[in-house]
Chains A and B, each alone.
Chain A
Amino acid sequence: MSDRARLPLWEVFIRPRNGLAHRHVGSVHASDAEMALMAARDVYTRRGEGRSIWVAPASAIAASDPDEKAEMFDPADDKTYRQPTDYHVPEEVGDM
């Protein structure tokens, strides 16, 4: 095994331009947040891909378990009454 100093992993989120949300683009290794921001700038925004960067320690992200996808998300599937198309509006009324 390597005795190399291990730099923590950071997840990188970039806002391509104002008006859009930050979006996950990848990750970098860095010793702290400041270094992670600099690395993210060099790795992910060499062609004006971003106007704002967020970095978060990968260890701070809690994720849902893919094996529980069904329990988590299927209940939404049969609630059609949450969709506008579930309601009848008479044609004479026009678009609504």
Chain B
Amino acid sequence: MYAQGLINASGDPNAAETPEQLARFQARIDAEEKIEARDWMPAAYRKTLIRQISQHAHSEIIGMQPEGNWVTRAPSLRRKASLLAKVQDEGGHGLYLYAAAETLGISREEMQDQLLSGAAKYSSIFNYPTLTWADIGAIGWLVDGAAIMNQIPLCRCSYGPYARAMVRVCKEESFHQRQGYEIMTTLAQGAPEQKAMAQDALNRWWTPSVMMFGPPDTDSVHSDQSMTWKIKRFTNDALRQRFVDATVPQADYLGLTIPDPECKWNDVTQHYDIGPLDWDDFWKVVKGGGPMNRQRIAARQKADDDGAWVREAALAYAAKRSTQQEAAE
């Protein structure tokens, strides 16, 4: 989306920003005007968006791995076809988002390098292994469920290309969550071993899913400015609460137990309470200490390396064809 030459089009990004420019920009945001790629924007707004959108894209791409792990072992042809379609959608989500980030002046190659070097992060949830088929159900239900809660408000994000990418993503996510919940329903209503498998998956995926909304509002560094810029519409804790309130009754329906003894309905707040979360562990996983961090990046690196000759050959072929065409004209 018009990525090339874009920074120059809106001036040197490091040029001093005057209070008038900043005020005019904020007035546009406050008036719910969308900011488009070549519009003037504060350097910090651009930087925040590049960080957020590229992280989001990386999460979609890395997120293909834990589920891809079960494509060949899906229990039926229908489950296999739908899992394959879901994983393909996640790849598509990554591509819409990379394209949106590119409009801000970062190249696809730079983003790839940042992911592979560890400079850019992705959602910590994808650093856990998928041990059983029930994990595929739990991921669709919980991880995609949490992603939907996060993504719906992003459809109204102040940055036009990001908001439009999110509209496409949200349209596709609903199938993901439903296929996951259907897998959970089948297992929960099946043999005792199947139900135990479903409970085990819930036990392992619940806390990481609740943590997908990010650190509590009290120590979330980027939250305030992102809210003022209307990149974010709700705080981490507000979205987390919404997810918990929606998900606990769904677990009840399955006859499964939320693995948190403090998780119960609170008559006063009219919400579900949850117990304290171990944020030290969360940061450890984000920073590379999770069970699968190394494998995830290694698999991504291998895919990149294995594809290198294809990209080079395709470019060489395109160059040859265009010289032949020129000669013929």
Which residue numbers of A lie inside 8 Å of B, CB to CB? 1-2, 4-7, 9, 11, 24, 26-32, 35, 42-43, 46-47, 58-59, 61, 63, 65-67
- Contact B165–A4 (Cβ < 8 Å): no
Q: Is B1 an interface residue (CB 8 A)?
A: yes
Given contacts A28-B95, A65-B38, contact A7 B3 (CB under 8 A): no
Q: Give the chain A neighbours of B322 by CB distance below 8 A.
A: 32
- Contact A66–B36 (Cβ < 8 Å): yes
- Contact A66–B311 (Cβ < 8 Å): no
How many Å from the CB of B117 to the closest CB on chain A?
A: 10
Name which residue of chain A comes closest to B38, CB basis. Answer: A66
> Which of A4, A26, A43, A66 is the one whose CB lies under 8 Å from B1?
A26
Q: Give the chain B neighbours of A58 by CB distance below 8 A.
A: 1-4
Name which residue of chain B comes closest to A32, CB basis. Answer: B318
Name which residue of chain A comes closest to B35, CB basis. Answer: A66
- Contact A66–B317 (Cβ < 8 Å): no
The binding surface of chain B is classed by DSSP as: helix
Q: Give the chain B neighbours of A24 by CB distance below 8 A.
A: 1
Which residue numbers of B lie inside 8 Å of A, CB to CB? 1-4, 9-10, 36, 38-40, 85, 88-89, 92, 95-96, 99-100, 102, 107-110, 112-113, 164-165, 168, 172, 304, 308, 311-312, 314-315, 317-318, 321-322
- Contact B1–A27 (Cβ < 8 Å): yes
A31 to B310, CA, bound (A): 10
- Contact B108–A66 (Cβ < 8 Å): no
Q: Give the chain A neighbours of B92 by CB distance below 8 A.
A: 42-43, 46
How many Å from the CB of B115 to the closest CB on chain A?
A: 11
- Contact A63–B38 (Cβ < 8 Å): yes
- Contact B39–A59 (Cβ < 8 Å): no
- Contact B311–A7 (Cβ < 8 Å): yes
Name which residue of chain B comes closest to A4, CB basis. Answer: B109
Q: Give the chain A neighbours of B164 by CB distance below 8 A.
A: 26
Name which residue of chain B comes closest to A67, CB basis. Answer: B40
- Contact A66–B10 (Cβ < 8 Å): yes
Interchain Cβ contacts under 8 Å between A and B, 25 examples: A1-B110, A2-B113, A4-B109, A4-B112, A4-B308, A5-B308, A5-B312, A5-B315, A6-B107, A7-B315, A11-B1, A26-B99, A26-B100, A26-B168, A28-B95, A31-B315, A32-B317, A32-B321, A46-B88, A58-B2, A58-B4, A59-B4, A65-B9, A66-B9, A66-B38
